[in-house]
């Protein structure tokens, strides 16, 4: 084992949510979309397959980039595609953070950032949210060797947001780039994509896994100043997205009707879920994402999680036990379809 780098030996590795295969269950533990993707994708996929897969794909995914540039009204050279946004996050970390250097992230938030720092042999610096999921001034302070800061917005597991004004102020204060991970921004009332024009140090990442119902496709992208994109291109795998996924993702971006109606359905269900969960007795955090963070001062949430699991209902039970300022044990429940939520709420009611 001594031939393995020490940082790899010592890191625990990122553990994704359970992905049960086969059988029937209600899966509301990894914030996937409960609805099938746009029916237009089948044809796009088939057309790409018919063109043949004997040649390598377009390294830059030009079709997708063009479509994204139109959608966000930015020049094409502000975009780069990735094999899921986790691929993009890996590329950004490798570009900016070297061994012994520092990567900043809020806590509690997306646990993967810490694993990415560990892969680099870098330090991660967790800045704790206050008890209302607000950032403290510490997040904006300079620090020796600080090379990159991550901010998921909306945040996971809370579903809370930091305002555009605050993000601009943070970017101005920080001595390094600030990555806004917008995995859930399509469920929010605002996003920060256009801020890349106002401050070069703002970099925005996106995924098609959640709001486009394409977690199984693996497709994401980054929006950043072309000077940064030029560096990321050197770091990424040459062919990080395959020909089928580029074709399908491009068509998904084009079908605005599917997208708008899906987002509307999820927001509706989210509002209903929130009021019913409160009625049952949970404390919920107002969500700008496709999941709801539920806590309770007394109940044993792990028991609820296990009870639901025994009935083939998968929610995420999370414990952020290092959180000095708030209650870090909770259930993160993804917004499923209405019939799924009926069953889940009914089961939880039975439990009490
Ligand atoms: C789901 C998620 C991602 C990863 O998305 P993929 O494109 O599926 O890799 C990134 N960031 C956050 C905060 C997420 O919740």
98-152 pLDDT, tens digit per residue, is 999 999 999 999 999 999 999 999 999 999 999 999 999 999 999 999 999 999 9
Pocket test for ligand 1, best of 82, 85, 106 (most atoms within 8 A of CB): 85
pLDDT at 327: 85
Ligand 1 centroid–CA 54 distance in Å is 30
Does the C-beta of 183 come closer than 6 Å to ligand 1? yes
pLDDT at 348: 93
Half-sphere exposure of 254 (CA within 13 A, CB side): 15
Does the C-beta of 220 come closer than 6 Å to ligand 1? yes
Ligand 1 centroid–CA 91 distance in Å is 14
- pLDDT classification of 2: cutoffs 50, 70, 90: confident
- pLDDT classification of 294: cutoffs 50, 70, 90: very high
Ligand 1 atom nearest to 209, measured from its CA: 8
Average pLDDT of the residues in 313-331: 93
pLDDT at 7: 92
Pocket test for ligand 1, best of 83, 151, 155, 210 (most atoms within 8 A of CB): 210
- pLDDT classification of 14: cutoffs 50, 70, 90: confident
Separation between Cα atoms, residue 252 and residue 250, nearest integer Å: 5
**CB of 312 within 8 A of CB of 323?**
no
pTM of the model: 0.97
Does the C-beta of 153 come closer than 6 Å to ligand 1? no
Mean pLDDT of the chain: 96
Ligand 1 centroid–CA 351 distance in Å is 32
Average pLDDT of the residues in 202-227: 98
Does the C-beta of 29 come closer than 6 Å to ligand 1? no
Ligand 1 centroid–CA 201 distance in Å is 21
Does the C-beta of 67 come closer than 6 Å to ligand 1? no
64-101 pLDDT, tens digit per residue, is 999 999 999 999 999 999 999 999 999 999 999 999 99
Ligand 1 atom nearest to 82, measured from its CA: 7
């Amino acid at each position: 084992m001594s031939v393995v780098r020490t940082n790899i030996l010592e890191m625990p590795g990122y553990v994704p949510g359970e992905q049960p295969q086969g059988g029937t269950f209600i899966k509301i533990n990894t914030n996937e979309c409960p609805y099938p993707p746009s029916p237009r994708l089948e044809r796009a996929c088939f057309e790409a397959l018919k063109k043949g897969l004997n040649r390598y794909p377009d390294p830059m995914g030009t079709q997708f980039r063009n479509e994204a540039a139109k959608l966000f009204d930015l020049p094409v050279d502000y975009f780069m595609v990735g094999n899921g946004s986790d691929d993009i996050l890996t590329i950004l970390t490798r570009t900016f953070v070297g061994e012994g250097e520092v990567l900043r992230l809020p806590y509690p938030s997306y646990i993967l950032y810490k694993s990415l720092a560990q892969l680099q042999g870098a330090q991660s610096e967790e800045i704790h949210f206050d008890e209302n999921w607000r950032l403290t001034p510490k997040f904006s302070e300079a620090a020796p060797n600080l090379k990159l800061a991550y901010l998921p917005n909306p945040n996971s597991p809370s579903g809370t947001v930091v305002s555009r004004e605050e993000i601009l102020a943070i970017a101005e204060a920080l001595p390094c780039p600030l990555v806004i991970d917008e995995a859930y921004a399509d469920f929010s009332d605002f996003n920060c994509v256009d801020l890349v024009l106002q401050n070069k140090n703002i970099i925005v990442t996106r995924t098609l896994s959640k709001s486009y119902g394409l977690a199984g496709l693996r497709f994401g992208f980054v929006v950043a100043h072309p000077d940064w994109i030029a560096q990321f291109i050197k770091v990424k795998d040459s062919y990080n997205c395959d020909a089928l996924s580029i074709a399908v993702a491009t068509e998904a971006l084009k079908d605005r009707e599917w997208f708008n109606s899906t987002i509307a359905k999820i927001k509706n269900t989210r509002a209903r879920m929130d009021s019913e969960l409160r009625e049952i007795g949970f404390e919920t955090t107002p969500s700008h994402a496709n999941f709801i963070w539920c806590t309770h001062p007394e109940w044993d949430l792990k028991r609820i999680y296990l009870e639901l699991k025994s009935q083939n209902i998968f929610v995420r039970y999370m414990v952020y036990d290092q959180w000095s300022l708030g209650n870090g044990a909770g259930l993160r429940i993804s917004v499923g379809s209405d019939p799924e939520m009926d069953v889940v709420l009914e089961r939880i009611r039975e439990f009490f």
